[in-house]
Structure 1
Amino acid sequence: MRTTGIKPPAPDTRRVWPPWGRDLLLAGAVAAGGVGAVLAFTDVNSPLRGPFMLFFLLASPAAAIGAALHGLEPASRLVVALAGAFAVNLLVAQAMLAAHRWSPSGGVAAVAALSLLMFLPVLVQRLRSRTARRRAS
């Protein structure tokens, strides 16, 4: 019996998303989060206010944490980002309740500010690496 060795697996040609699908999904998530923030700040009595605001409160810190964890596998990054988003929301709610300053629009503003603060170091690092690559070439 003769063995020829182990053959490498054939490349996987299946695509889960079409080329434009990921961008469309991201644009929809940003739009839904923006609608949730606007509905929270304008104090509109709409049945969509609660779900969109909840989406913003979960997606905003999760996106900021997920951007910082670019070295992890996608599934691990998703789990850690969602757990971090829950932690950020719970800490904001606890701090606002302890200070007797709870309001839905205040909670959205605090979570948005914390998400922005978590995303800024990632943005600065990406801009620095882009500038370094331009200088090198």
Structure 2
Amino acid sequence: MPPTDREFTGHDGPLPFSTSNSVRATTRSAQTAVAVGAASAICAAGTVLTLTHLASPVRAPFTLFYLFVAPTLAVALLLPDADPLGRAVLATAAGVTLDLVLAAGMLALRMWSVDGGLVAVTVVSAALCLLPPLRRVIRGGGATAERGTGEPCSEHVNHVQV
């Protein structure tokens, strides 16, 4: 049986937070950080090994991991309000489709190379990652009177005379 709040604190009174929930949240965020760090390291290693043409038994799996993860995460960033399961399915399908379309286009143009494919996926994924911040800048307009109110400053209001 797991320990109770009384065993942790020594009293029965109400706690401002649940010890078990905060521990779970901290553990979950730490696990997520470790997973993201490991995925980033694998992607970086795969890219470096491929672009430098170093012979290694992990070059192909790490590169394939990168080619799968980079466009998938880039597309997932474009869907912030979607249902998590739907977002994962759509981002995965779009990421694989993006890889296939880039490869088919490079083959059709007789420009295919392993390095070129990796660079093309990197450029397109980076461009997709830049779309959400760019959209915020464009939609945000100019300066506002009070941050977050959406009302323009008097100096930015266009006065139209009829």
User: What TM-score comes out, normalization by structure 2 length?
Assistant: 0.67
**Aligned partner of 1:91 among 84, 101, 107:** 101
Partners of 2:51 and 2:137 in 1: CA distance? 31
Please state whether the residue corresponding to 1:118 is helix, strand or coil. Answer: helix
Q: Which residue of 2 aligns with 1:103?
A: 113
Following superposition, which runs of at least 4 residues in structure 1 exceed 6 angstroms of deviation? none
**Aligned partner of 2:75 among 65, 72, 76:** 65
- Residue 28 (1) aligns with residue 29 (2): no
1:101 deviates by 1.4
Partners of 1:66 and 1:136 in 2: CA distance? 26
Specify every segment of 5 or more residues in structure 1 that has no aligned partner in the other structure, as ranges: 1-12
- Residue 79 (1) aligns with residue 94 (2): no
**Aligned partner of 1:44 among 49, 54, 72:** 54
Q: Residue type matched to 1:135 in 2?
A: R
Specify every segment of 5 or more residues in structure 2 that has no aligned partner in the other structure, as ranges: 1-20, 150-162
What is the aligned-residue RMSD (CA, Å)? 2.4
1:121 deviates by 1.2
User: What TM-score comes out, normalization by structure 1 length?
Assistant: 0.79
Please state whether the residue corresponding to 1:55 is helix, strand or coil. Answer: helix
Higher relative contact order (CA 8 A, sep 6+): 1
Q: How many residues align?
A: 123
